[in-house]
Structure 1
């Protein structure tokens, strides 16, 4: 199987910093630690309300890191302008509501194609790889291909929260969607809610080439340290698919 990349989301390092103010803990320091421990890229979500990652964090990481940065963002004019100026390696377009605690479900690419198309085109013209965060729904995957997205990140939250037969059904949906993403010539990524138990199940889907994991790793870092948590996740993934 193809190598499997690990993207580490450091948003919640910023959440902890912002709870008290000041500069500690520093998301950039966390990003460096994650990369040194085996992460392939860093994911950050610049939200409209700046509840965790802030503009200065994005600029600091872009200036300091040579590894790919994946900027999660809503498809708004403000975020498009920020992204095209920043020029990260990749942008993942996600749905966003002010009241939500975390991203809830995938983007409706099929229903919002008209508004998404110019944002995707502008990001692509700036040399940014565009991915769409989607539920494992073939209609949405096919809409992403029509819109010119280069990747799809499958939302794994429903799968991670399910148990028993429901989890198996969700895993089957993810596998089917991953095959369709690959067949349409896009990269297949996956993320949301993954941990040491669920990540290997996604790693076993051969079409998935990248997992993006944040909340679990930052939470586990409280007990084990971030480098140890990232190394263990890397080992869990590689145990299923050797690079």
Structure 2
């Protein structure tokens, strides 16, 4: 079964736009779980444009499924993970001012950096997933570092899906096969939606988890949060 982890960054963005506590991030996380979500994902950026450090600690107290904290592994991020002990820490190579994740790690060039960080996070009890492009070389690099999983960066797949979905998914299938061969778990995320999710799951049946935020929260404006989560779960039920 592929788990659906709901990324609630956009909920925090909406809350922060008014400077109060509406919508309430903790309550939305509880609702996502109640409606069938199998995980909660957050990305506490240094500028706190959406999820804040306080949110991480608040969510740690109430998340009953899998709590996934993603981010660039600076000392601030490391401290948050070590203190909140999420089920999973997802490492992304974003610069602090990046709008969103737009590339995976070069796990070869950054091997020494990531190896030490991975050991430190695992010692804190977190499963470590490294965000990578769909490249078997980068997947192999993640395995050598000692990561538990890779998260495949799926924006290129989403961009190419309408024109030629088979060509778009091909590098992901190859990367997933390499991950399976090396004993790595496989996550995926970025620009996945109700249009392209099912095909990705069909082609990568051993997909462990997808993390979806922007499209899911946007769809919830039209369909409602409970219905939307169920819609995404149905797309994964193949």
TM-score, with length taken from structure 2? 0.96
Q: Which residue does the alignment assign to 2:145?
A: 147
8 Å contact from structure 1 (residues 179, 207) kept in 2: no
How many Å separate the matches in 2 of 1:113 and 1:26? Answer: 39
Aligned to 1:132, what secondary structure does the other structure show? Answer: strand
8 Å contact from structure 1 (residues 9, 214) kept in 2: yes
8 Å contact from structure 1 (residues 14, 25) kept in 2: yes
Aligned mate of 1:45, from 38, 43, 46: 43
* 1:3-27 alpha-carbon deviations (Å, 9 max, x no partner): 1111110000000011111011112
* 1:24-51 alpha-carbon deviations (Å, 9 max, x no partner): 1112111111111111111001112111
Aligned mate of 1:129, from 127, 130, 134: 127
How many Å separate the matches in 1 of 2:62 and 2:47? Answer: 24
Q: Which residue does the alignment assign to 1:157?
A: 155
How many Å separate the matches in 2 of 1:40 and 1:82? Answer: 22
2:232 is equivalent to residue 233 of structure 1? yes
How many Å separate the matches in 1 of 2:2 and 2:14? Answer: 29
Q: Which residue does the alignment assign to 2:207?
A: 208
How many Å separate the matches in 1 of 2:236 and 2:24? Answer: 27
How many Å separate the matches in 2 of 1:195 and 1:122? Answer: 33
Aligned mate of 1:70, from 68, 71, 82: 68
Q: Which residue does the alignment assign to 1:90?
A: 88
How many Å separate the matches in 2 of 1:31 and 1:38? Answer: 11
* Alpha-carbon RMSD: 1.2
TM-score, with length taken from structure 1? 0.94
Aligned to 1:154, what secondary structure does the other structure show? Answer: strand
How many Å separate the matches in 1 of 2:63 and 2:98? Answer: 30
Aligned to 1:91, what secondary structure does the other structure show? Answer: strand
